[in-house]
């Protein structure tokens, strides 16, 4: 079973508590998202790392107890629920009205829609980072082409600035942006499916996380 490829395969492998590779993959995939998500909710770095750890541990416990029923919702929604309650607990312990890290980072933890949006924003960034890494390391795309795209899109440089720095014509820079964007769209779409597949995909595995159990 290729754990790198689908969330369904990964979660199926997690039925085995001795499958260290599956848990390591789960941790590697979702911990950075949870840390970034907690930061987006206004937590400082240490608190965000703590929330991510608590969320993963809690998910492991509930998963092994058969409480995670994927037919009732996506994995991300389950993680958001756990993390949100952990952050609310932290807020109560600290006796503050709102966890914050500067005015622009404030998110009302009682607003489930805002909290979910914050998680989704971080998940999309994680998918894009992975897509770019795959494009750099696993494709035959010219590194200069990828560099041109990053300089334009992520560093906000002008076409002429990129062309001058990389020794390309302006036309070649435009082509580089178009080619990389097209390839990224394909990779991102595949990764989106791998990170968050539909609940019905469990039918193809012949197993359910909580078959015969109530969540």
pLDDT < 70 regions, the chain: 1-6, 70-73, 94-106, 195-215
Task: Convert 41-79 into a string of H (helix), E (strand) and C (coil).
Answer: CCCCHHHHHHHHHHHHHHHHHHHHCCCCCHHHCCHHHHH
Let me know if residue 209 belongs to a domain. Answer: no
- Nearest of 213, 202, 196 to residue 71 by alpha carbon: 202
What pLDDT shows up at residue 163? 96
Residue 65 belongs to some domain of the structure: yes
Q: What is the pLDDT of residue 65?
A: 82
Total count of domains within the chain = 1
Instruction: Evaluate whether residue 215 is within a structural domain.
Output: no
CA angle 166, 167, 170 (to 5 degrees): 90
Residue 191 lies in a domain: yes
Determine the pLDDT at residue 71.
Answer: 66
In a domain, 118, yes or no: yes
211 located within any domain:
no
Give a yes or no: residue 2 inside a domain. no
Structure tokens at 173: 């820079």
Domain assignment present for 213: no
Give residue 72's pLDDT. 62
pLDDT confidence of residue 215: 26
Query: Residue 157 belongs to what domain range?
Result: 7-204
Write the DSSP symbol of residue 140. Answer: -
Closest to 87 (Cα-Cα) out of 121, 111, 120, 63: 111
Q: Cβ of 11: how many Cβ atoms within 10 Å?
A: 22
Task: Write down the pTM of the prediction.
Answer: 0.71
- The SS3 of residue 69 is coil
Q: For 42, which DSSP code?
A: T
Distance CA 160, CA 158 (A): 5
């Amino acid at each position: 079973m290729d754990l790198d490829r689908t969330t369904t395969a990964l979660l199926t492998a997690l039925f085995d508590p001795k499958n260290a590779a599956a848990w390591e993959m789960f941790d590697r995939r979702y911990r950075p998202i949870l840390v970034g998500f907690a930061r987006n909710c206004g937590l400082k770095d240490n608190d965000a790392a703590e929330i991510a750890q608590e969320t993963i541990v809690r998910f492991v416990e509930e998963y092994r107890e058969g409480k995670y029923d994927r037919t009732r919702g996506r994995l991300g929604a389950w993680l958001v629920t756990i993390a949100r309650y952990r952050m609310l607990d932290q807020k109560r312990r600290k006796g503050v009205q709102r966890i914050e890290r500067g005015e622009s980072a404030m998110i009302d933890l009682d607003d489930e829609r805002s909290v979910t949006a914050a998680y989704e924003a971080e998940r999309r960034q994680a998918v894009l980072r992975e897509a770019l890494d795959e494009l750099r390391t696993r494709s035959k795309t010219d590194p200069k082409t990828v560099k041109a795209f990053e300089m334009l899109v992520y560093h906000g440089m002008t076409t002429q600035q990129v062309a001058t720095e990389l020794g390309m014509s302006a036309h070649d820079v435009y082509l580089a942006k178009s080619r990389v964007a097209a390839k990224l769209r394909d990779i991102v779409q595949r990764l989106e499916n791998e990170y968050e597949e539909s609940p019905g995909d469990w039918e193809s595995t012949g197993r359910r996380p909580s078959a015969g159990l109530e969540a």
